[in-house]
Amino acid sequence: MPDSDSVPRNGSNMARTITYAVSTTNSLTGAPGRTGNGTFDATLPTSWEAGQFAVLVAYTDIGTISNGTSSWVALTGSPFGSNTPKMYIWYKFLAVGEAAPTLTVAGHVASESAVAAIITYTGVDGSAPISKIGAATSSTGTPMTAGAVTTDWANEMLLGIAGRGDNDASSAETFGGSGTGVVERVEAGTNSGDDSLITIYDKTLAAAGTTGAGSVDSANTDPWISLIVTLKPEQENLRTFLSGGTWPPDAGILNPSLDASFDHDSRMF
């Protein structure tokens, strides 16, 4: 058991670490999507597993996209975008036998494009998985930026999410101007119609605080929408740990104002 003086202090529980699992296969042309009105399936990533936390992102140049699978929860504020292009985000914990959600496009035209992608994680809090939702930014050209948020928990997973009306490759993803620890997870596009693409990049923020602005470069001048979403990690109760629970080797938080005292050797309150 670690000495209490070595445990980071910032809350009453100990935060586990969120781990990337799987996502839609990276391809500039092979992601689920379509032109015109109608339906398409947002295919689940290969090797997904029940219990993983999934985020589904869809983008359209024009019109609307609806999710016909009621178990997917729309992220607060979705759809995002102040102009005609819109980005939609849903989430859920995947169940045994999960089927790919069916998306319906309406108000579209044959020359425009809709696209979707899914990413999954493990170690996400089961009761309150979403921690922060940033203000969406809409513009054209590059870079695609997203406003910063301030997290509440150690080890929150930062997701930089961008949808745009072209399928050129993404690069130089950063939070707060730094690419340290940042990984591009999704670059999923379609060449249907006028093309479209979704980019998702992530980073674990070890201590609660500001994420810094998100940014990702793209060689296009087309419209885009971008924002930051953070995921809350599972929390292990301090008393569970002290009574014999497993200490997460990568992080943990202890509140020094707990109303109980304990003995290091006996693990007794």
> Which residues are 119's β-sheet partners?
23, 55
* Residue 180 · residue 158 · CB < 8 Å: no
- In angstroms, the Cα distances linking 185 to 5, 18, 19, 22, 111 are 36, 14, 12, 9, 28
Q: What is the pTM of this model?
A: 0.84
- Cα–Cα distance, 54 to 15 (Å, whole number): 20
> Does a structural domain hold residue 32?
yes
Residue 26 C-beta-side C-alpha neighbours within 13 Å: 11
Q: How many domains does the chain have?
A: 1
Q: Give a yes or no: residue 254 inside a domain.
A: no
Cβ neighbour number for residue 33 with a 10 Å cutoff: 29
Three-class SS state of 159: strand
- List residues bridging with 81 in a β-sheet: none
Task: Look at residue 239 and give its three-state secondary structure.
Answer: helix
Is 265 contained in some domain?
A: no
For residue 245, the SS3 value is coil
Please, what's the largest Cα pairwise distance for the chain?
70
pLDDT in tens, the chain (269 residues): 433 333 333 445 677 999 999 999 999 999 999 999 999 999 999 999 999 999 999 999 999 999 999 999 999 999 999 889 999 999 999 999 999 999 999 999 888 899 999 999 999 999 999 999 999 999 999 999 999 999 999 999 999 999 999 998 999 999 999 999 999 999 999 987 788 999 999 999 999 999 999 999 988 788 999 999 999 999 876 545 555 555 444 444 433 333 333 343 433 33
Domain of 102 in residue numbering reads as 8-236
Quote the CA–CA distance of 253 and 156 in Å, as a whole number: 13
Token code pair at residue 128: 């309150």
User: Is residue 85, in this structure, part of any structural domain at all?
Assistant: yes
In a domain, 194, yes or no: yes
Classify residue 48 as exposed, middle or buried by CB count within 10 Å of its CB (0-12, 13-18, 19+): middle
Quickly count: other Cβ atoms within 10 Å of residue 31's Cβ. 26
SS3 assignment, position 6:
helix
CA distances from 94 to 67, 134, 170, 246 (A): 15, 24, 28, 25
Residue 114: what pLDDT?
95
